[in-house]
Structure 1
Amino acid sequence: MTEVPRRLVFVHGIGGIRDAEAEAASWSAALTRNTDLTSIQVTFVDYSKEFHVDGAQGDPAIETELLQELVAELVAELEENASTSSERVLADARMQLTATADQGPGEVVRRLANVLTTVLAMPGLRSAGQWASGRSVLGHLAQVAIYLGRAGEVDARIRARVHDALTAGPAVVVAHSLGSVVAYEALHEHSGPIPLLVTLGSPLAMSAVVWHRLTPRPPRTPECVDRWQNFWDCDDIVVARPRLERRFLPNTNGVIPVSRQIDSVGLWTHTATKYLAQPLVAAQIADALR
């Protein structure tokens, strides 16, 4: 039987430079708001500065191409489940995407930012308040392109930070956004037991950009994971394909992701703290830690 952990390892997602101590405190506070958890050892994996060191930026043309694919897929997958009120907005975004085909890198980036600004006008996203403009969304999505572009071994350095956090023994791993991609790949390289993996607002199943570039292949649950719970918010723009169990094979113990929808109230639906404050999310983590 796997040892019951009293440790939480948090892995953050897209965004700016982090203050690990402050983030660990705010994530923990959001989690414990709806639980009776006490005396939990928390490790916050901060890899945010890796995107700003020499060698992190690879070939601009390759990263621009990845960004084009990422934005195009995001729009396409939003169109699959679009409401009637969103169809016109997404048709406008699709038309703008077509115009990026023969542009130089600088113009492509500008147009992609405009596409995302259009997408943010969708009824559900218009009130979400996560980003002020398409350019701010694009700046954060660029981190996904950098990680998956794997220039200068930035992806390996980021995963090494997860490995360092797991050396102390069994832990519940909670990974948000791009952090779910990082944690997924790191756990495939990890041999110790992980009683529970929780992914929040995950882009893992995005076909063209993320899912097809994951290692190892074919994508499957890491062998060390005993349970995998995946949560998404219906107004989270980063989560176009939320049901990971449709795209990931089980590990040899038959473990597959179990995806559940939550509905956050108010602004900033993509933040980790918004997810962690949800009673359903907190209950799953608390049960694994008791």
Structure 2
Amino acid sequence: MKPRLVFVHGIGGPRDPVAELDAWLRALADGARAAGHSRRVLDLLRGWAADARFAYYGDLFGVPQAQGAASDVEDEAELVGELLLEALDERLAEPAADDEARALRRARAQLAPEGGAQGPGAVARQVLTAANTLLSLPGLRTFGGWASAGLMVGHLRQVARYLRRGERDEEGLTLDARIRRRVEQNLDASGPTLVVAHSLGTVVSLETLHGYRGRVPLLVTLGSPIGMSAAVRPRIRPQPLQVPGPVERWLNFWDRDDLIAARPRLERVVRPNDRSVLPVTRRVDSDGVWVHPAATYLAQSAVAGPVVEAIETAARS
């Protein structure tokens, strides 16, 4: 039986799901070739190896938010600030070029100025100012697709909007529930489903799989913020964090130069499921100026190799 392979994206602007599926598969094929699985490249690209799906939910963020209190907007800005602050502290704890270190320190000071936030909207302004400083790093502006600080903060706010559990639709479903439903619709309960999730999509996938009853031979998380102890981890449901029951293996990959990915090994903060499965965290090094995109991770042999091998194993089971 041909297994299902589901890709789950993260933050960002509108996407063409068909084009994205093709791009992710091509990146995975490049990684498979580098991992010594050249004979499987055509199978991946032609859909012979797995029934590949791209679980798209980005359009849900394009729906205008219901008018809410100013405090709601400030709360979202505060969460984005927490996310950036934690990411900066982790990055500053590691060696960096002088120019990069100066920009990171300046952005941190702008996020947490002496005396704290002053006046209405102060947090939002601090976050925007810090984002503008970060965009002085050439990789973020040139390769991150963020032409402005406003666009960068807007994309990062998607994390806050998901974790706020608000924005109900006419059915009463919150934004996060609608997003999880999109992902669940792409899973195949009748057979094995492998899930490869990126960025915010790793949080979405983790929560979705807790309510799933099908087989998941492999969960792969790329550039995940799950380990962020202040901004993200305490807000994930259910608590305490645990590997979802259907997951038979979980590989978590992060790149040292990925500003968005949290460094902690997830196996230290996530409890095992009834199968005694724990995440296994592995570092990859892309040596690029902007390494957060999913395609950059998928093209790594360390990432693509286990995915291809899991597809082959699932097809035989």
Q: Work out whether the TM-score is over 0.5.
A: yes
In the alignment, what sits opposite 1:92? Answer: 106
Aligned with 1:11 (options 8, 11, 20): 8
Instruction: Write out per-residue CA displacement over residues 238-268 of structure 1, whole angstroms, 9 at most, x where no aligned residue.
Output: 0132421121111121111111111114343
Amino acid corresponding to residue 42 of structure 1 in structure 2: A
In the alignment, structure 1 residue 229 sits paired with structure 2 residue 251 = yes
Give 1:5 deviation, angstroms: 5.5
> CA contact under 8 A between 1:203 and 1:242: conserved in structure 2?
no
What SS is found at the alignment partner of 1:165?
Answer: coil
- Structure 2: which 5+ residue stretches go unaligned? 169-173, 313-317
Q: Does 1:32 find its partner at 2:35?
A: no
Alpha-carbon shift at residue 132 of structure 1 (Å)? 4.3
One-letter amino acid of the counterpart of residue 90, structure 1: L
Structure 1 runs (4+) greater than 6 angstroms displaced: none
1:246 aligns with 2:268: yes
1:154-204 per-residue CA deviation (whole Å, 9 max, x = no partner) reads 000000111111135321100000000000000011111100000001000
Cα 1:197–1:57 change in 2 (3 A) is farther
Deviation at 1:127, TM superposition (A): 9.4
1:66/1:280 Cα in 2 relative to 1: closer, same or farther (>3 Å)?
same
What corresponds to 1:174 in structure 2? 196
TM-fit CA distance, 1:31: 0.6
Check whether the contact 2:131–2:149 (CA below 8 A) recurs between aligned residues: yes
Q: Which residue of 2 is the match for residue 158 of structure 1?
A: 179
Match for residue 72 of structure 1? 85
1:184-263 → structure 2 map (5 Å cutoff): 184-263=206-285
Which residue of 2 is the match for residue 144 of structure 1? 159
Cα offset for 1:222? 0.8
Residue of structure 1 aligned with 2:56, choices 46, 53, 72: 46
Counterpart of 1:101 in structure 2 is: 117
Contact 1:206 1:240 in 2 (8 A): yes
For 2:309 and 2:66, how far apart are their aligned partners in 1?
38
Residue 202 of structure 1 aligns to a residue in which SS?
Answer: coil
Aligned residues: 285
Q: What secondary structure sits across from 2:143 in the alignment?
A: coil
Closer, same or farther: CA 249–56 of 1 in aligned 2, 3 Å = farther
Counterpart amino acid of residue 11 in structure 1: V
> CA distance change for structure 1 residues 48 and 127 in 2, over 3 Å: closer, same or farther?
closer
Q: Which whole-Å CA distance do the structure 1 matches of 2:17 and 2:222 have between them?
A: 18
In structure 1, stretches of 5+ residues that fail to align are: none
CA distance in 2, matches of 1:288, 1:57: 46
- Aligned-residue RMSD, C-alpha: 2.4
CA contact (8 A) 1:128 1:235 kept: no
1:114 corresponds, among 129, 139, 150, to 129
Q: Which range moved further: 222-231 or 264-273?
A: 264-273
Output one character per residue of 1:113-159: Cα deviation in whole Å (capped at 9) or x when no partner: 22133345569x67983244543332211100000011120000000
Name the CA distance, whole Å, in 2 between partners of 1:126 and 1:82: 18
Distance 2:226 2:300 in 1: 21
Rg bigger for which structure? 2
CA contact (8 A) 2:214 2:246 kept: yes
Letter in 2 for 1:29: R
TM-score (norm 1): 0.89
CA 1:267–1:90 in structure 2 vs 1: closer, same or farther (change >3 Å)? closer
State the alpha-carbon separation in 2 of the partners of residues 225 and 128 from structure 1: 37
Alpha carbons of structure 1 residues 121 and 287: separation in structure 2 relative to 1, 3 Å:
same
Instruction: State the identity as a percent.
Output: 46
**How does 1:117-132 map onto structure 2 within 5 Å?**
117-121=132-136, 129-130=143-144, 131-132=146-147
**CA–CA distance in 2 between the matches of 1:112 and 1:28?**
35
Question: Aligned to 1:172, what secondary structure does the other structure show?
Answer: strand
Q: Distance in 1 between matches of 2:67 and 2:199?
A: 20
